[in-house]
Structure 1
Amino acid sequence: MMINMVWGRMKSFWKEEEGLGTLELLLIIVVILIIALLFKKEIMALITKLIASMNSKSEEFTK
């Protein structure tokens, strides 16, 4: 009896339009976090390279 009630509520949650937007947003965030964790070293190297480039360009501009 209790399992049927819980199952029914889960089914109605999946069919509900408002809950679907929240679920999609949550899944997108999870995918972005997984990708960021997988490519953490490459992302950090790119950011470090960009900051170093900005620093050198700003030094050239101030001279």
Structure 2
Amino acid sequence: MLTKLFVKSQLALQSFKNDERGVTAIEYAIIGVCMSVVVLAVFKGSLADALSTAMKNISTNITSANTPIPPTK
């Protein structure tokens, strides 16, 4: 009984060690972070300003959309 448990645990550990399904996702995440760093380094000022302006415009539009229109008589 103990031998069967040992063999099953060894087989489970072996299959876990050989499983490479998540490796590609991790590689793509690392590549994405590196590309983001390069883009931010190249477009440091203009990109940050453009994103800041865009977020302010979106915030203003959302605020104005939530403001109720007074009823007309």
Q: What TM-score does the superposition give when structure 1 sets the normalisation length?
A: 0.49
- Pick the structure with greater CA Rg: 2
**TM-score computed with the length of structure 2 as normaliser:** 0.45
